[in-house]
Chains A and B, each alone.
Chain A
Amino acid sequence: MSAAHPIGLSIRGGVKVYPGTKALKGVDFDLRMGAVNVLVGENGAGKSTLMKVIAGVEHLTEGDIYVANEKIHFDTKMDAVRHGIGIVFQELNLFPNLTVAENIFMGNEPTKFGVDIDTHHQFEQTSQLMLRLEQSIAPEAPLGNLRIGQQQIVEIAKALAAEARILILDEPTSALSAAEVAVLFKVIEELKSQGVGIVYISHRMEELIQIGDYVTVLRDGEITGSRSMEGVDLPWIVSAMIGEKSKDFPRGDNHQLGDEVFRIENASLLKEGGVFTVDDVSLSIRAGEIVGLYGLMGAGRSELLECIMAQHPLSTGDYFVDGNSVGNASVGERIRRGIALIPEDRKRDGLIQIMAIRENITLSALGRFAKFFNLNLRDEADTADEYVKRLTIKIANAENPVSSLSGGNQQKVVIGKALMTDPKVLLMDEPSRGIDIGAKAEIFRTMRELASSGLGILFVTSDIDEVLALSDRVLVMADGRITKEFPANPGAADVISAATPNLTKELSR
């Protein structure tokens, strides 16, 4: 088999260090031409980093890249493109207001006399590409009018227009319908037979087994399994993904659960195209309970939390704190009623980066330091200090901007801000995202302590270890619905398979 599939690119001893974390720890990776090289791993395992290194977007801290046994170095993405490497990111990088042809040749326009764009040539090339991909997409059609699946094809065409010999597809099917997936797979088969080497990243196991020729499993920046796809099944992938022993997280003591503190009834959120992002979700949380909400990216978990926090005006459903409906209350009112959200994206949603640590931590609870409209700054500073100590946030000076802190400490500031409002239920969206192992353990310990002090916690995660170790109850979400509920300590394979969207679709049919 390897004779038919020569190695087109390889990485030896690849190490990538980000401030605070090691994303790749000595990775050896071979990319075979004329085949689909599947890459699996949990979120944060290093898949995206590895692909960015290959595409020239990021640079290896240590280690080398070889193309055709020759050591090379990509300074920029354009370097990689010149070596025939194309990447299609999960988030499409297209211009909806321009035509298909203009999109395909963006930044790479054929010109007459160096200035005048050769529109005719551009159209012709686009038509040929569409012929090669067996698609009937008109070159002059505005991109915005195409379906997501067709836009994906345009992205692929764009890579091919730059004469890509290696094509990286990062979660290409996450936004596609079943019919569009079938078309994409046909295109991939076509490209394979033309000798293109394809790297395919996805969370959908069934898909990987169906289309892959070689599989590489990443875990915590290391490759834990790499072989030809023959004889590979779901259990093998799962065990390579999560390893033998789970990470050492604090175990829950068998504390008593209290009464229900929070309930969601029939939460729904419609997105464009008549698909439900959140589809009739109902759940209930008791005091002192940690409920883990597991699911893949795009399953609608973050959107559910945003609905609870009144971020989607068009969503329906009702939420109850201690049995009282929150109705149409504003965000501020919901916070006062006892709901606190710790958002997934700290930079965008959680913190005011340029404001001081003190100002961030007290922002949601300023009312308690104010008499009429006068703020008691001394009281505020003292309380901020108290929370900094209580959550062991490591800072030199509470007046420094919050942007000067590490990810873990920033996350603790967000938690401190939420706790200062005296919440009854804490909604945590990927609380461990982008922070190092040590800080993670501390955050989880804090969550345990909060739960035993009577708080209800609903936390969203895509890390199977986390959800297994921390939860008193596990809910699995896929395609906007809660597909399964498990008591504490369920089997990893059961949880993962309940979260796989395609599988659940088939089951419900």
Chain B
Amino acid sequence: MKLPVLELPSNRTDWLLLLLKMRTFLALILVFTFFAFAAPNFLTTANAVIVSKHVAINAFLAVGMTFVIITGGIDLSVGSIVGLCGMVAGWLVIFGIDLGLGWSIQFNTIEISFIVIMVGVFVGCLNGLLITKLKVAPFIATLGTLYVARGVALLSSGGRTFPNLNGSAEFGSDTFGFIGTGNIFGIPFLIWMLVIVGSLAAYLASRTPLGRYIYAVGGNERGASLSGVNVDRVKMFVYMFSGFCAAIVGLIIASQLQASHPATGETFELNAIAAAVLGGTSMSGGRGRIGGTIIGAFVIGILSDGLIMMGVSSFWQTVIKGLVIIAAVVIDQAQNRLQSRVALQQEAKFSK
């Protein structure tokens, strides 16, 4: 919400606060520099493209997750939505919609993308309705949709993979592969999408009434409601937006692999939560920034790819990732304590 402090701080506490505020960014610089020296080929363009593609997938989910967590909720279903949306995309590319009697509707890439995104938003909408209208706790509601969406994904193919999603030129779906593998001006298309979605989300968070309401609902739901904020509408939005982000990821993966597998996206929700938390999003709601989340996703992505390049065992990677997340939360709490102490002192000094 606040712009980074540009003027140089005058005393030690302020310096410390500034360091703590920029901690995710510092961590990013730290891991980046470390691997630049420690891992061979880390600083090549080819590697940068690979890493950024890995990061983007987690970053999309984490952006959607950030809004949900800011409202004080959680969305466990995103991984399953990724899987389901991948299967829907695969089905549409291969079969279209079968009307029976030998008739079917075939779609071009844009139409397929639109339908897939609608599926993601629809599952998000279900989450939202469960949480707002039926008052199911977000953890339980999205745990339920996690299983349902995964089950539907498995049912769609009987557990098999939809292979060879090349599309056909006749129906205009041969460009399906572009979503995950295409480049514009030498930069992957999916990175462009991340830039657009990320900027839109950051703008929404800081400069629109809806964004402000998202923070207000997470900070104090009752207070927000009494201030005239339509709490239910805000919650519906965040879960639908999270579903939207998950659908994009489903599309990207299906397009990258030219295949869709119903188990795609398992445990993705945990990585998304980790990126959001690493970026300074508070699990108790009301606090968090899109920029922080994206940096958080980069820290996690660079960390795991860099460790692979160094040849560290993937078991150790898991351990290290966990430690980094715990450290992030501990530092986050230290920052909040310091920040509120500084604010208190300022106000106390002023009121004297």
- Chain A residues with a Cβ under 8 A of chain B: 309, 311, 330-332, 334-336, 341, 343, 348-356, 359, 363-364, 366-367, 370, 373-375, 377, 394-397, 399-401, 403-406, 409, 417, 421
Contacts and interface: CB of A to CB of B under 8 A. Distances in A.
Contact of B226 (A343, A394, A405, A421): A343
B51 interface: no
B33 interface: no
Given A363-B224, A374-B208, A406 B351 contact: yes
A352 B71 CA distance: 12
A341 B216 CA distance: 17
A379 to B, nearest CB: 12
Contact of B209 (A309, A335, A375): A375
B228 A399 contact: no
Contacts of A350: 223, 226
Contacts of A309: 226
A373 B226 contact: no
A363 B229 contact: yes
A400 B228 contact: no
A339 to B, nearest CB: 10
Nearest to A396: B350
B340 to A, nearest CB: 6
Among B209, B227, B229, the one with the most A-chain Cβ atoms within 10 Å of its Cβ is: B227
A309 B229 CA distance: 13
Interface string B316-352: 0000000000000000000000001001101101110
B346 A330 contact: no
A352 B351 contact: no
9 contacts: A351-B223, A352-B223, A355-B286, A363-B227, A366-B209, A373-B210, A374-B208, A397-B343, A403-B343
B340 A403 contact: yes
A359 B230 CA distance: 17
Nearest to A19: B348
Nearest to A339: B228
A308 to B, nearest CB: 11
Contact of B223 (A348, A394, A400): A348
B347 A405 contact: yes
Interface string B195-225: 0000000000001111011011001101111
A397 B227 CA distance: 23
Contact of B346 (A356, A370, A396, A406): A396
A400 B346 contact: yes
A335 B223 CA distance: 14
A404 B2 CA distance: 17
B209 A331 contact: no
Contacts of B229: 332, 363
Contacts of A330: 230
A41 B243 CA distance: 57
Of A332, A352, A401, A417, the most chain B CB neighbours within 10 A belong to A352
A395 B286 contact: no
Nearest to B209: A366
B45 to A, nearest CB: 37
Given A366-B209, A366-B212, A401-B343, A349 B228 contact: no
Given A352-B286, A355-B219, A331 B225 contact: yes
B207 to A, nearest CB: 5
Interface of B: 1-2, 207-210, 212-213, 215-216, 219-220, 222-230, 286-287, 340, 343-344, 346-347, 349-351
Given A354-B287, A374-B207, A397-B346, A359 B226 contact: no
A403 B346 CA distance: 12
Contacts of A335: 227-228
B200 to A, nearest CB: 11
Which 7 pairs of residues, A with B, have the shortest CB-CB distance? A352-B219, A396-B350, A332-B228, A404-B343, A400-B343, A335-B228, A366-B209
Nearest to B287: A354
Contacts of A367: 209
B207 A375 contact: yes
Contact of B222 (A349, A405, A406): A349
A377 B216 CA distance: 17
Contacts of A334: 228
A396 B349 contact: yes
B208 A370 contact: yes
A413 to B, nearest CB: 12
Nearest to B336: A354
Specify which of A366, A377, A417 lies most central, judged by the most chain B CB atoms within 10 Å of its CB.
Answer: A366
Contact of B351 (A311, A341, A353, A409): A409
A400 B220 contact: no
Given A332-B230, A350-B223, A355-B215, A404 B351 contact: no
A499 to B, nearest CB: 26
A375 B225 CA distance: 20
Contacts of A404: 340, 343-344, 346-347
A377 B286 contact: no
Contacts of A354: 219, 286-287
A355 B343 CA distance: 12
Nearest to A397: B346
Contacts of B346: 396-397, 400, 404
Contacts of B220: 348, 351-353
A354 B343 CA distance: 11
Given A355-B219, A375-B209, A404-B340, A399 B230 contact: no
B207 A377 contact: yes
B343 to A, nearest CB: 4
Given A309-B226, A352-B224, A363 B343 contact: no
B206 to A, nearest CB: 8
A355 B340 contact: no
Given A348-B223, A351-B220, A373-B209, A395 B228 contact: no
Contacts of A336: 228
Contacts of B224: 352, 363
Given A330-B230, A417-B227, A359 B347 contact: no
Given A395-B350, A396-B347, 12 more contacts: A334-B228, A335-B227, A352-B223, A354-B219, A355-B216, A363-B216, A363-B229, A366-B209, A396-B346, A404-B343, A406-B351, A409-B351
B190 to A, nearest CB: 26
